[in-house]
Structure 1
Amino acid sequence: MIARLIRQNYSFFLPYALLLIVVGILLAQSDRTDLMRWVNDRNHPFWDRFFYHFTDLADGVVSALVVVALLFVRFRWALLGGLCFLLSGEVTQLLKHGFFDHEMRPSAVYQNSGWLFHTVEGLDLHTRNSFPSGHSTSVFALFCFLTLIVANKRWGWLFVFLAALAAYSRVYLFQHFVADVYVGSIVGTVTTLLVYAGIQSYWQRNAPAWLDSRINLKR
């Protein structure tokens, strides 16, 4: 089923695969400080304000609101979305607070380096639990899931762009290294794909009748 889902939703997975290859090459060939400097040097007041607000798209609250909205579309999608978002988030939190608890954020790493890095006014910079990026996990899980359930698959092109832009915002805002958002995106996408495929496969054989119902406010 996974291979079929990838083929059916190539509008998301094709550009995402290309993005992984390009960024993966950059990570392999460049020092993480060089990548941070490249992004940080390309700051502008407009982008400061834009990314300050746009990064909220990757907040888990947005995913929760999507789940609530899906209750009015189909219980199946709301339940599936909730599972995808919850499990992908748990994987990232396990990595972040367990295996990679020692990984510091850019602001802490470069605090005494002599580098006068650019920061966005009014933004609270975190210092710990840098790897992987929870926001990147959340936003890629969200838009991967939306691609899987929408009828018009052309939306996948826009969805992967929005997810990538939100992940980039975490680097621009000096909250994460490139590797953090890179791995976070993989966790979000892969977990969502696996959960969606597994649950849908099970429901093909054991789907309760209420699954395709929805909240209807009309009387």
Structure 2
Amino acid sequence: MQTLIANSRRLYPFLLPYLGILILVLAARLFYSKEDIYFFINGLHFPAGDVFFPYMTELGSGVSAVVICLLLLFFSYRSSVLMASGLILSTAVNVSLKNLFSAPRPSVYFAGHTRPIYYVPDVELLTNNFSFPSGHTACAFTIAMVLTYVTPNKKMGYLYLLFALLVAYSRMYMSQHFLEDVTGGSIVATVVTLIWLTWSGTWSFFKDPRWDGSLSRKKNAA
């Protein structure tokens, strides 16, 4: 429990604003339906957004996850291992929930709907039943949490959270997910990653100074 509290404090710049936003999102969901929220966001498209968000959404992709894990090897082996293992765990939980719920994507959910829907040009529309929870969102939030955890300047957590939120919004902007999907993905990532970071912090072997090494640091000459 003490380790959990200590880790939560290290993640305050990420967790506190996230919890505030989560409460607002859940409150909004009480007053507005799934369809209302979808069509509200669908009506907020603009030319710059049609260019920006398809790129932003890639920050939550598997390719970005691998690249970040590799880049962290140049900062510390511990950071890279925490990132890779955290991503594997959150992805495993997220994929399991996708198969459990089999929730339709917006394109499937609104098939045959008469109300006009705007789709971002040149974006491949997913048409399956793996909408909940959002995998890109879970990936982005896991990355943001681990980066907050390993970055000395904890205020960077605010920036990492912003990027994670932009990835989540991009999934709705491009009609790949509903609000419930990205909210679920963020919760899965936050809970799983916090538990994982807490548990890994109790491993005695993981406190070995050699884990602080990196590919960019050469061993001191004898």
Report the TM-score, using the length of structure 1 for normalisation: 0.94
Which aligned pairs between 1:40-79 and structure 2 lie closer than 5 A? 40-79=42-81
Aligned length in residues: 216
Q: 2:165 matched to which residue of 1?
A: 164
d(CA) in 1 for partners of 2:77 and 2:190? 22
- TM-aligned CA deviation for residue 86 of structure 1: 0.6
Code of the residue aligned with 1:178 in structure 2: it is L
- TM-aligned CA deviation for residue 69 of structure 1: 0.9
Q: Does 1:37 align with 2:57?
A: no
d(CA) in 2 for partners of 1:171 and 1:139? 14
Code of the residue aligned with 1:210 in structure 2: it is R
Name the SS for the 2:133 alignment partner: coil
- TM-aligned CA deviation for residue 217 of structure 1: 7.2
d(CA) in 1 for partners of 2:15 and 2:67? 24
Which aligned pairs between 1:1-219 and structure 2 lie closer than 5 A? 1-97=3-99, 99-101=100-102, 103-128=103-128, 129-203=130-204, 207-208=207-208, 210-216=210-216
d(CA) in 2 for partners of 1:194 and 1:171? 28
Question: CA distance change for structure 1 residues 68 and 91 in 2, over 3 Å: closer, same or farther?
Answer: same
d(CA) in 1 for partners of 2:44 and 2:13? 29
Post-superposition Cα deviations, 1:85-108, rounded to whole Å, max 9, x if no partner, equal 1100110011112x112x110011
- TM-aligned CA deviation for residue 7 of structure 1: 2.0
Post-superposition Cα deviations, 1:153-178, rounded to whole Å, max 9, x if no partner, equal 11111111111111011001000000
Question: CA distance change for structure 1 residues 83 and 206 in 2, over 3 Å: closer, same or farther?
Answer: closer
Code of the residue aligned with 2:142 in structure 1: it is A
Q: What is the aligned-residue RMSD (CA, Å)?
A: 1.6
Name the SS for the 2:153 alignment partner: coil
d(CA) in 1 for partners of 2:22 and 2:108? 27
d(CA) in 2 for partners of 1:154 and 1:209? 25
Code of the residue aligned with 2:90 in structure 1: it is S
Name the SS for the 1:14 alignment partner: helix
Question: CA distance change for structure 1 residues 209 and 8 in 2, over 3 Å: closer, same or farther?
Answer: closer
- TM-aligned CA deviation for residue 28 of structure 1: 2.2
Post-superposition Cα deviations, 1:125-172, rounded to whole Å, max 9, x if no partner, equal 112210000000000000011001100011111111111111011001
- TM-aligned CA deviation for residue 9 of structure 1: 2.4
Name the SS for the 1:202 alignment partner: coil
